Structures are given as C-alpha cells and as structure tokens.
Chain A
Amino acid sequence: MRINTLFYCIWQGFKNIFRNKWFTLASVATISACLFMFGLFYAILANFQYIMKGLEQGVSVTALLEEDITDERTREIGDMIARRSEVQETVYVSADETWEQFAEENFGSTDGFRENPLSDCAHYVIYMNDVSGQQTLVDYLRSIDGVRKVNESALTAQTFVGVNAIIGYVSIGIILILFLVSIFLISNTVTIGIQVRKEEIQIMKYIGATDFFARAPFVIEGMLIGVIGSFIPLIAVYFIYNEAMIYVAGSWEFLSQLLRFLPVDEIFSVLVPVCIGIGVGIGFIGSYTTVRKHLSV
C-alpha cells in the first residue's frame, strides 16, 4: 500500500468526525456518560477500600513474652515476627514501660510502688497488612519459644474480613454492570451511526475499494470518538475528585482525620489506561464489526 493511501485513510477518519457531527456528538456523549459513571464509581469504591485498609491496619495482636527472657532472645523474636509477610510493623514495649503506662492511666503515677507488678508483661504489639491472615500469625506466635501468651481480637478481624469481602464483591459487581452497560450503549451508538452510512460503504465497494480502504476511515473515526469520549469524563472526574477532597478537608475536619483519601495520581494511574482502553477498544470493535456487515457487496 502506498503511504499516501494510508495517510488518506487516516485523514478521512479525522474528517468523518466533522462530516457526521451529530453522530460524533451522540457517540462522544454516550461514551462520556458511561465512562463518567464508571470513573466515579471506581474512585468511590477505591477510596472505600483504601479507608477500610487504613482502619484495618489499626488492628493489632499482642505477643506477651516470658518473664525471665533474655534481651538477645527478645530481639530474636522481634526479628522473626518482623520478617513475616503479613506483618506491617512491630513495636516492643518493655515490662517497665508497660507498668508505667498502666500506672499512669489508672493511678496517675508509679509513686508508692516498689516493684513492678507487671514484670511478666514485656510484649510486642504487631500491626498487620491484612487482617485476614491474623489467625495464621497468632498460631505462629504461639509456637515461638519465649512467647507466653498472645492477645488478639478475633471478632474485629473477622468483621474486617467480612466487610472487605462484601465491598470486594459489590465493587466487582457494580464495575462489571457499568462496564457491560457502557459496551452495550457505546457499540449501539456506533452501530446506528455506521448503519446510516452503509450506502457510502457500498458505493466504495462498487467502485473497487478493498475492505481495508472502505473500513479504515470508519475504524479510525470510531477510535477517535473513543479517545475523545474517554478524555472528557477523565477530566470531569479529576476535577470533581479534587474538589471533593478539598471540600471534605475544609468542611468536616473531624472526617478528614478519619477518612484518608487516595491521592488523585493513584486513582488516575488505573483510571486513565482503563477508560482510554475501553473507549478506544469499543470504538474499534464497534466500527470494525459494523462496517464488516456492509462490506459484502
């Protein structure tokens, strides 16, 4: 194929965008609306999961050590725990620190006490990446020589695991439904738009155009519509997301302590390729398959 033929096909694809203004507008609007909903739900659900993850990381397990344990063994146990994949952070609290905290909370100070009544309470506080692995970690801690007792909150962990699972399923469900609705609406719009122009395709074929020559401008047009249709909602979601973060931080300060929003870059590192992929992919597949129906002339 001559290079100028290829450029001609690409140029015609661009020109088609303006030749068929109403079709372009309808397609871009449909794609934008679908991907806007998709983007918005994705941002909400991703943040919800992020917040849950943050709360989850506040759940800890306490490993109480034997009273007569050596400093060396204490360090060894600390290293063993820290190496575990489900562990995010470990904090060592000595028996003296434990007593000081306890006395301060209950009696105001340690004055009047000669001995440490909590001398067997040196412990590690362990924060986890994922609470679903709590039971495995607890079993492991119990097996360590030098650990006398493990305190855990099984109910909290189970609640988090349950809520996370529900959020996961709901997220997948909503995103899948939105994705399917988007595909259906967008490909329908592209199909109707090209259906109207089947005569044009037939004329091309009657005068000897190859399938590629007849199809290429429509496919390029479909992909361009996909690109435009995905950029508009991305820009809209970007502004709405930023504004929402500023609004929450400014209006409900108590909420902003509790709710940590995902940084916009992190949301968009997923959303940009997915939205453009959906837009371009549907534009390509929709126009390719629809034109094919009219090529057998």
Chain B
Amino acid sequence: MRNKGTPILEFRSVSYRYSGTVAVDDITLTMSAGDFMAVVGPNGSGKTTLIKLALGLLKPSGGRIRLFDHEPGDFLDWHRVGYVPQVAAGIQERFPATVAEIVAHGSYSGFAPLRFWKRTKTAEVMAALEAAGVAHLSDRRIGELSVGQQQRVLVARALVGEPHLLVLDEPAAGIDAAGEEALNDLLQRLNHEQGISVLIVSHDIGAVMRQANTVACINRSLVFHGQPHELTQNELGKLYGFPVEVLLHDALHEHR
C-alpha cells in the first residue's frame, strides 16, 4: 500500500469508564498502514471496548484517538474501514436477508435514492464472496448458515468496500479449527498481497503470534506493545495477572 508506515490508528492515554468501572485505562498505542496488529488479553480485559473506541462506537472518557487522522466520532470515510463484528453472539435465525444482500451493504457509500431498484449481486459482491470462500452461499439466508460461514460472509461484507483497514473482533470465536485456519490464511493474504492493514482481537495468543507483526497485550491497561517475538513469559504472566500454571489450574477448576 502507498504510505506504508504512516500511522492510521493512534491511542493517546485513552481511558474508558462506565458506571464507575474502568474498562480501559490509560492506553497509548499506534498502528501504522500495512501493520497486522493483534490485540490480546484475557476475557473482560477491554479488548472489545478498545475496538469500539477505535471505531467511534464508544466515546473515550479520557485521552485522544485518531483514526486516519480524524476523531472517530467525526470520521466520515467509513469506506476505508471494514469492520467484522463478533458473530457468535447471534445473527437472528429468521433474518430474511440473503448472503448477497448482506455483502452488498458493505459497498454502502452514502445516500443513493435509487439503490433499492438496482441489482444486489454485482461483480464486486461476487468477487468479495469469492475472496472469502463463500460464493456458493450467495442466495442462502444469512440466518441459516453456520457461525463459521456467517463469519466469512461478514468478512466478505467488510472486503467489498475495498477497505484500507480491516478490524475483526474475535473472528475465531465459535468456528472450528479448519475454519479458523482458512480465515487466518485469508487475512494473511490480504495483508501481504493487497497491503490491507489488519487489526484483530483475539484471546488465542498462539494463533495471532504467528501472523501479527505488532501485538498489543491489554488487561485494562497496556501490558505490552511491540513485535510478537519480544514478548516475554514475564509479560504474559503480567497480562493474565498470575503465572501460567495458576491460570491452567484455574481453567481446570472452572470446567470441573
């Protein structure tokens, strides 16, 4: 991509509080064009809140955010951003939209009064579905697909607008290992071949370590921000608040 290396997303001492709880505490980080940045952290660490702040869906209680050099709240160039929300929580089973209709929404570029009368399955929509590997599902209802397929449809929806930045919130949640690998391959190709910047939230550190060139570990505050190979055991311990053995023990305890 042109301008590789220019900052596209910046957090300066950003905090977010709701009803007395601090969800995000004094986070400063920078993402540059061409980056593949992973945000990792335990459940409830503020990862999704961070994404919502970056996209202007939440207003920070303190600090400053710049998205393509604008306040996210005043940002208008949404075609530069492709957002893939968490799908596992639920698309209505009865939602009558077809896959092609959902993907066509991604090419929205403001008021167009005659859009209702135009074809939905355009070449761009089909190309995006092809890229996400779900072209064969174009006429199916979004609600009747598996979670993994819905995830890919939303990736296609994000791709159809030819974004510069792709933001994915826990895309691996609710999909099987094969689906996760296919998705990871796709993101890797988009990043390497088309220079699309990727910001991905995950709680699976292993998976994103292999792909990302930048990692932000957060547990309300920023624990680590840098290249994945610089991340130490010590910082991982700090991220989860206690040594890994204890974490494992706790996980076993919870599932008993």
Q: Do A and B come from one complex?
A: no
B-side interface residues toward A, CB under 8 Å? Answer: none
A-side interface residues toward B, CB under 8 Å? Answer: none
